[in-house]
Chains A and B, each alone.
Chain A
């Protein structure tokens, strides 16, 4: 049987994978940089936690509602973001993150610095789900999200996003409604982050404003960039590697943020496409390796 410790790490990694995956929709597919993604993670976590502890909604309703609320807020906050581009967008989204965190931290309704506690794991068949079961539930959701992403990527929506990412003005001249497709990316990315927030709250059983700060946004962005921004698998692979690293070695844990920072910097310098991105060194190394193998025979 796998230990509880391992299960906890695996669940955390799947939640990070969902977050990286959702940020990839906004930043990777539609090309809109966001430095405040943790805000929507937090909005989802707080929505789900408050519906559960305050209004007595069961997990199975509070978590989907967390996604809906985060999606709606994402749409509302996406509208001011439509008027700005590139570095201004980065600063605007960063500001959104600080505002959302401050609201959780200073408004008594949201439990101030203590956050919200006594959130529980969901129940099914008359009992609470075990952690391995929760992990399986999360993995099923992750697979569904992955299939959704693949379907979007093969649809006109994915194509419209790609054109906006490449050149907004040319996209408009080709009949792409830039505003509508940008808002769609913000809604979808925020909703999935909200969903991850709901899962996170019910797993951790207590949440605090600090969990959803700017630092968290940067961690998520690191995972996306490290794995390969805009690729389908990259963000998940990034979440897995950067999620496991601190667990396998204590020193890495202590200098986690420093190491993420250095990784982000060196990826930007040497491998801007990420591990699985186009022109990455990884496929080249593989090719050379197999070439050598075949020439030995």
Chain B
């Protein structure tokens, strides 16, 4: 049994098929790349897994259990963390508080536990560790909206890690970043993988994908057109066609 099992997943918006019968599996401790041209359905796939909207058909299994009827907060509590393509930190809260919100996932289910103070020494220590791992320790008290994009992206990862996830969904983490920023982020993602966390990585930067992933799934117009190692993907004619178009 793999960590995540997606079977024949489809999603229609009105008449538009955003995702069409996609199946794949992902395991712990590996980075699975998800690539495809714009509009291929990559972010839709993430939104379905994290429960933002329900699929039109298909099944999503996480550790052998179906996620279909669960709402986003329930899915995140099961251990699926995510970041957003357009960053969504809690803009007016500082870095530390951003991460703290996610730490609360074990208290929110009970009203009684939720009424307890959130500034507890042992939790603050864990928060510090996470912020340090994300390289944000000097900015712990900075308001999120004042951070540069690269830091916001790392903050989103730190926040998702506070859920103690088994699976992390990263939506274009390197988009809009300078080379050095992007390299630092990749290092962070590698560390996350080495911890045994499964990572689904949507990425447009081919260098990043080929470098990080052992296995890649390619989507085009909502369908899976290829799956395999970076070498296989690179030489797959369907993939080349999807990216570069057909020869006339």
Contacts and interface: CB of A to CB of B under 8 A. Distances in A.
Contacts of B101: 159-160, 162-163, 171, 174, 176
Contacts of A155: 114-118
B58 interface: no
Given A156-B104, A174-B159, A174-B163, A163 B113 contact: no
A175 B93 contact: no
Contacts of A152: 115
Interface in B45-59: 50-52
Interface of B: 50-52, 71-73, 76-77, 81-82, 84, 88-93, 97, 100-102, 104-105, 107-109, 111, 113-119, 159-160, 162-163
A262 interface: no
Contacts of A174: 73, 76, 101-102, 104-105, 159, 162-163
A166 B115 CA distance: 20
Contact of B88 (A154, A170, A176, A184): A170
A184 B163 CA distance: 23
A178 interface: yes
Contacts of B88: 167, 169-170
25 contacts: A152-B115, A155-B115, A155-B116, A156-B108, A156-B113, A156-B116, A157-B111, A157-B114, A159-B101, A160-B101, A162-B93, A162-B97, A166-B90, A167-B90, A169-B72, A170-B90, A172-B51, A172-B52, A172-B72, A174-B104, A174-B105, A174-B162, A175-B77, A176-B73, A176-B108
Contacts of A184: 111
Nearest to B106: A175
A173 interface: yes
Interface string A92-110: 0000000000000000000
Nearest to B143: A278
Contacts of B92: 166
B229 to A, nearest CB: 31
Nearest to B92: A166
Contacts of A170: 84, 88-90
Contacts of A173: 50, 72-73, 76, 81-82, 160
